[in-house]
Chain A
């Protein structure tokens, strides 16, 4: 750098003009300490609880300001900007974690209040205040989701087979494009569609479990097609060609070679699709309605489902609002547990049932 006057002071050329390796961490800890202090002072002055979210946000802001100016003084503008962006990018991730953590904590703490035996063994029939349960909603969700799966898996899988094994030309391109577009159909529009179909046949005001199932399958088919298509594409062409070379007809090749090879992926995809639609509320609210009674019959009468129950308990709080809210939270907890379990099952299937390759 400068002409050294004293022979003894050699600046290390690799670390001169740079922040130390531990400096950002030290700044972060300092920023955290400062914001905890500030929040503590606020708490003393105005009372109330310790503000965790405020502390985290303040820590982030203090850290960004300090690291930027510190780096600007020591390392120059370019490095300073780099450090600022690093802090911003990490901060964005932390920001996304906030709602997730908050949501999980509140759902678990509030949901445990009614997470008892009665909740899973009673329906809501003749219940106005406390008590009651979700049996009718569980039955409805199970029946409608299974029916939707039974409708969408054959259609979705065969379409995927068409796209991968047979489809060439404009029709295949159109199907691919519209499957993608169909993924974006608002769920409530699917519900309105199912309602319209049954209203035209049976007259207005009709709400049936089967209508809910059809609404769900409209949402489910594109998801199934996409995942199955991806999985079928992964099957190496050598397997197909080997089968053809042995004189196996195409349909048997697909049935006996392609499908068994990709079955794990397909099952994973279907499980994830179920997890996606099992939490759908709007289409079921519109097409299947809501009821307090247990209904096993898909083609007669309204059918309750778990998400709709959560919504109902929240929107129409009766004489004892807390009881309704508790049921809503417990229902939400059940729903999240079901979705998580399905996701877990999907991962397990993907891991243990995938074909063992030699390599």
Chain B
């Protein structure tokens, strides 16, 4: 509005209005602020976790004398192991649901079914935790007992079975339910983008619906499914409350998924310990949080990189 150069037309340069400058600069500031926030998250976490490394482990009573890394190792293992189990369960089911919505369900119904799956994503994690601890764990406990008695020779199902059902497998089931909507939503989008000509060509050659999906839809959607799984992994790694409320952790590294002694996860450990922590213990917990941040950052960046790479070649279709 406040025009500084209304006197005459100038060649080669557009008129710089004050409003324009203020507006574009504030937009730029907001954009840069996001980068600054992300940097600040990393920076402040690092700053606050320094005392955990400089203090003598004897003085940090959560550590109770053991060195930092031997305290963190089981937590990192538990985080990765629980997320891997969750992903193992969630990915096949998600691909199935995504295919069901994109290629099997009637068109009219498909959108409504999509909403139902999205409904799972809307449930707060604390509610999942409550459900997992009070409903799911007692419900699966008899199955665990049966598994240890009959399939106990498989290392994963090594006895003794947990009496409460609050094992890492139960936590992984809850995590799987929580990441299901994320993986499904993205896979569905990718499957729907499959070039119709490819599908019709496969069908015209006499392929059954499954053969059409195997030869046309799945190869096309593979990068999308991979990156969707990575995003789901990122969510599972950082999920706190559901694990904290379901898993009864006792530390130690073990691959057995049905026993009462389970490794904890970083996020759940922070949530359980933080309210009572004091002094350098807080810095220790923040240091573990920094490790979690680094892990999820790497996972998410790889996922985004795959998606970004995919965008370039799918533009032609």
* A192 CB to nearest B CB, Å: 4
Interface string of A155-167 (1 = CB under 8 A from B): 1111101110111
Q: Does A185 lie within 8 Å of B208, measured CB to CB?
A: no
Q: What 0/1 readout, one digit per residue, does chain B (110-150) give for beta carbons within 8 Å of chain A?
A: 00010011011011111111110111100100000000000
Q: Which residues of B contact A62 (CB under 8 A)?
A: none
Contact (Cβ within 8 A) B126 A307 = yes
- In the complex with contacts A218-B37, A286-B270, A249-B304 CB distance below 8 A: no
Binds A, one of B52-60, B192-200, B285-293: B285-293
Q: Which of A177-205 contact B (CB under 8 A)?
A: 177-190, 192-193, 195-197, 199-200, 204-205
B window 271-317: CB within 8 A of A: 271, 274-275, 278-279, 282, 285-286, 289, 292-293, 296-297, 299-301, 303-304, 308
State whether A200 touches B122 (Cβ < 8 A).
Answer: no
A251 and B240 in contact, given A175-B34, A184-B299, A310-B130 (Cβ under 8 angstroms): no
- The stretch from A23-31, A85-93, A118-126, A142-150 touching chain B is A85-93
B225 at the interface (CB under 8 A from A): no
| Contacting residues, chain A, for B156 (C-beta < 8 A) | none
B289 touches A86 (CB 8 A): no
The smallest C-beta distance from B237 to any residue of chain A, in angstroms, reads: 7
The answer to whether B241 has its CB under 8 Å from any CB of chain A is: yes
**Which residues does chain A contribute within 8 Å of B240, judged by CB atoms?**
186-188, 281-282
Q: Which of B22-30, B63-71, B157-165 contacts A (4 or more CB under 8 A)?
A: B22-30
Contacts of A314 in B (CB 8 A): 129-130, 133, 245
Interface of B is mostly: helix
In the complex the two chains form, is B177's CB within 8 Å of A99's CB? yes
8 Å CB contacts to B: which residues of A225-262? 225, 249-252, 254-255
Q: Which chain B residues border A174 with CB–CB below 8 Å? A: 35
CB contacts (< 8 Å) of A161 on chain B: these are: 27, 30
Question: With A86-B104, A86-B209, A182-B34 in contact, do A200 and B48 touch (Cβ < 8 Å)?
Answer: yes
B27 near A166: Cβ-Cβ < 8 Å: yes
The CA-CA distance from A141 to B299 in the complex, in Å, is 31
Note all chain B residues with C-beta closer than 8 A to A175. Answer: 31-32, 34-35
Q: A285 vs B271: C-alpha distance in the bound complex, in angstroms?
A: 7
> How many chain-B residues does the 8 Å CB contact rule pick out?
94
Is A263 in the interface zone, CB < 8 Å from B?
no
Chain A residues with Cβ under 8 A from B289's Cβ?
188-189, 192
Nearest CB of A to B72, in Å: 15
Q: Are B24 and A178 in contact (CB under 8 A)?
A: no
Question: Which residues of B sit under 8 angstroms from A285, Cβ to Cβ?
Answer: 271, 274-275
CA distance A79 to B209 in the complex (A): 9
Count A/B pairs, Cβ under 8 Å: 275
- A88-123 vs B, CB cutoff 8 Å, 1 = contact: the mask equals 111111011101101100110010000000000000
Q: Is the CB of A281 within 8 A of B126?
A: yes
Q: Which of A5-13, A34-42, A334-342 is found at the contact surface with chain B?
A: A334-342
A221 at the interface (CB under 8 A from B): yes
Within the complex, the shortest CB–CB distance from B277 to chain A, in Å, comes to: 9
A162 cross-chain contacts in B, Cβ below 8 A: 24, 27-28, 30-31
Q: What are the residues of chain A within 8 A of B136 when measuring CB–CB?
A: 99
| A210 to B39 alpha-carbon distance, docked (Å) | 20
Query: A213-229 vs B: 1/0 string, CB under 8 Å?
Result: 00000100110010000
Question: Counting chain A CB atoms within 10 Å of each CB, which of B22, B47, B235, B241 scores highest?
Answer: B241
Shortest distance from the beta carbon of A200 to any chain B beta carbon, whole Å? 7
Bound form: Cα–Cα A195–B165 in Å: 34
A306-350 vs B: 1/0 string, CB under 8 Å? 010011001100000000010011001001100110010000000
Per-residue contact bits, chain B 149-183, to A (CB 8 Å; 1 contact, 0 not) = 00000000000000000000000000001001000
Residues of A within 8 A of B129 (CB): 311, 314
Select which of A172, A181, A335 is within 8 A of B127 by beta carbon.
A335
Q: Mark A65-86, 1 if CB is under 8 A from B, else 0.
A: 0000000000000110110011
Q: Which residue of B lies closest to A315 (CB)?
A: B245
8 Å CB interface, B1-46 against A: 1, 17, 19-20, 22-24, 26-35, 37-38, 40-41, 44-45
Q: How many angstroms between the C-alpha atoms of A90 and B40 in the bound complex? A: 46
Q: Which of B97, B124, B231, B296 contacts A281 (CB 8 A)?
A: B124
Also in contact, A188 and B124, with CB within 8 A (given A204-B282, A252-B19): no
Is A279's beta carbon under 8 Å from chain B? yes
Establish whether residues B120 and A289, one from each chain, have CB atoms under 8 Å apart when the complex forms. Answer: no
Q: Which residues of A contact B (CB under 8 A)?
A: 53, 78-79, 81-82, 85-86, 88-93, 95-97, 99-100, 102-103, 106-107, 110, 154-159, 161-163, 165-167, 171-172, 174-175, 177-190, 192-193, 195-197, 199-200, 204-205, 218, 221-222, 225, 249-252, 254-255, 275, 278-282, 285-286, 289-290, 307, 310-311, 314-315, 325, 328-329, 332, 335-336, 339-340, 343
Provide 25 A-B residue pairs closer than 8 Å at the C-beta atoms, listed in order of the A residue.
A89-B104, A92-B94, A93-B96, A93-B101, A100-B116, A155-B33, A157-B30, A158-B29, A161-B27, A167-B31, A178-B35, A184-B235, A184-B300, A186-B239, A186-B292, A188-B271, A189-B289, A192-B285, A200-B44, A218-B37, A279-B125, A279-B127, A281-B124, A286-B270, A329-B130
Which 10 A/B pairs are nearest by Cβ-Cβ distance? A186-B238, A279-B124, A92-B96, A158-B30, A251-B23, A184-B300, A162-B27, A82-B208, A282-B240, A196-B44
**B: which residues have CB within 8 A of A?**
1, 17, 19-20, 22-24, 26-35, 37-38, 40-41, 44-45, 47-48, 92-97, 99-101, 104, 113, 116-117, 119-120, 122-131, 133-136, 139, 177, 180, 184, 208-211, 213, 231, 234-235, 237-241, 244-245, 267, 270-271, 274-275, 278-279, 282, 285-286, 289, 292-293, 296-297, 299-301, 303-304, 308
